[in-house]
Amino acid sequence: MDHAQAQSQNVFDLLVVGAGPAGLMAAEQAARAGMRVAIAEAMPSPARKFLMAGKSGLNLTKAEEPNSFLQHFDTIAPLKPILAQFGPAEVIGFAQGLGQEVFTGSTGRVFPTRMKASPLLRAWLARLDALGVVLLRRHRWIGPLTTDAPHLLATPKGQVAVTAGALILALGGASWARLGSDGAWQTPVAAAGVPIVPIQASNVGLQRAWSDHMRPFSGQPVKNIELTVADQQSRGEFVITQSGVEGGAIYALGRMLRQTPLARIDLAPQLSIHALRDMISNRKPKDSLSNFLRKSVKLDATKRALLFELTRPMPRDTDGLIAAIKAAPLQVSGPRPIDEAISTAGGLSWDALTPELMLRDFPGVFCAGEMLDWDAPTGGYLITACLATGRWAGRAAADYLSAKALT
């Protein structure tokens, strides 16, 4: 798909900037509508962050009812029509259309059967190539934020100019800079007067200073727990790290934890308070507390270590012990650095966009993917929304170009 030389005049109907899932999907939709499309990608190869996600299996989406799926996003109104047209069922169909069979895990998460991203990406790039989409590797977009002048792209051999009737920016968030999403787009976009909601780390580990007592448990999972932050709950697991905690149960409450850095951990959610009270009442006098927690409450070594770490001094009365087991206080001191985050929150303000994802003040300039101001936990929501907004922007750009051709 490296046809840069094939379009020597560098004139296209549409220039897509960014070859992640949103950009690739936008390019495909516009190409299917008959547009001549080029994708400018700053990195030597496309979809590097997408491929990194594939190393843990590539969680494509979550098999949920549309309304339930939507509730996991912090920004619901503008995303609702977009995800209504391309939600979990459509993502599954998209993968299968690329020859990639999928399976749904016990929690509803959907993965390719081959548990990696590369076969899907290869098939997708081949399909884009067949549609005539031109991929310009090592081409970093400089600007301007308009369709009235040629777009300048920095390459290893110097600047080149590309003319296009419409522009789609799909430049990602601001984490994992080495994979391409460095957030550098904020400078030219903000300079053009487009409002940007401050970008911050999302789906990222949280910091907490552990005592030496916890050092042997670094890297260990804390399974089958329920976290509560304010009035929100998350059931699942997390991992103890040298610097704090990370993992799905933490990420699911990330937005709340940014506002209220205190979570309560139910280390035995399978036990009711009544059942736990009975266990404590029937505890043998000769049983040490650690043995009781291991044998009766079924807390493994990691959970016991965490309980003793978080509730010093350990209460000895029944009510205090129940509270410690069912609501151990986990105080955190903020997120890990943004470049460690799986994704970022914040981005282009929805106020700057039309429902078609076109910048209100810049006709013909559309935006998609993680650079928009939305946030969601891991679990398939991130990739689905990137694909869906890319599809939406690609179709809207094609409609814009078609209407423009008639005037």
At residue 6, the pLDDT reads 37
At residue 56, the pLDDT reads 81
Average pLDDT over residues 305-317: 94
Q: pLDDT band at 54, cuts 50/70/90?
A: confident
C-alpha to C-alpha distance for 328 and 203, rounded to whole angstroms: 22
At residue 4, the pLDDT reads 43
The pairing of beta strand 151-155 with beta strand 140-143 = antiparallel
Average pLDDT over residues 194-206: 96
pLDDT exceeds cutoff 70 at 234: yes
Average pLDDT over residues 137-148: 94
pLDDT tens sequence across 248-271: 999 999 989 988 999 999 999 999
pLDDT exceeds cutoff 50 at 3: no
C-alpha to C-alpha distance for 371 and 392, rounded to whole angstroms: 15
E-strand ranges in 192-307 read: 196-202, 206-207, 221-229, 232-240, 244-246, 262-266
Average pLDDT over residues 214-220: 97
C-alpha to C-alpha distance for 69 and 243, rounded to whole angstroms: 32
Question: In Å, how far are 53, 123, 245 from 203, measured between CA atoms?
Answer: 13, 29, 11
pLDDT exceeds cutoff 60 at 100: yes
Q: Are 35 and 132 in contact (CB under 8 A)?
A: no
At residue 1, the pLDDT reads 45
Q: pLDDT band at 55, cuts 50/70/90?
A: confident
pLDDT tens sequence across 342-399: 999 999 999 999 999 999 999 999 999 999 999 999 999 999 999 999 999 999 999 9
C-alpha to C-alpha distance for 378 and 247, rounded to whole angstroms: 9
Buried b (16+ CB within 10 A) or exposed e, 151-189: bebeeeeeebebebbbbbbbbbbbbbeebbbbbebbeeb
At residue 407, the pLDDT reads 82
For the chain, the average pLDDT equals 95
At residue 245, the pLDDT reads 98
Per-residue DSSP letter, 270: T
pLDDT exceeds cutoff 50 at 7: no
pLDDT exceeds cutoff 80 at 9: no
* CATH architecture of the domain with range 4-202+347-406: 3-Layer(bba) Sandwich (3.50)
pLDDT exceeds cutoff 70 at 28: yes
At residue 8, the pLDDT reads 45
pLDDT exceeds cutoff 90 at 112: yes
DSSP string, 320-372: HHHHHHHSEEEE---BPPGGG-SEEEEEE-GGGB-TTSBBTTSTTEEE-GGGB
pLDDT tens sequence across 316-349: 899 999 999 999 999 999 999 999 999 999 999 9
pLDDT exceeds cutoff 70 at 403: yes
C-alpha to C-alpha distance for 347 and 107, rounded to whole angstroms: 30
**Annotated domain spans of the chain:** 4-202+347-406, 206-331
C-alpha to C-alpha distance for 336 and 202, rounded to whole angstroms: 10
In this structure, of 26-30, 52-56, 232-236, 302-306, the range with the lowest mean pLDDT score is 52-56
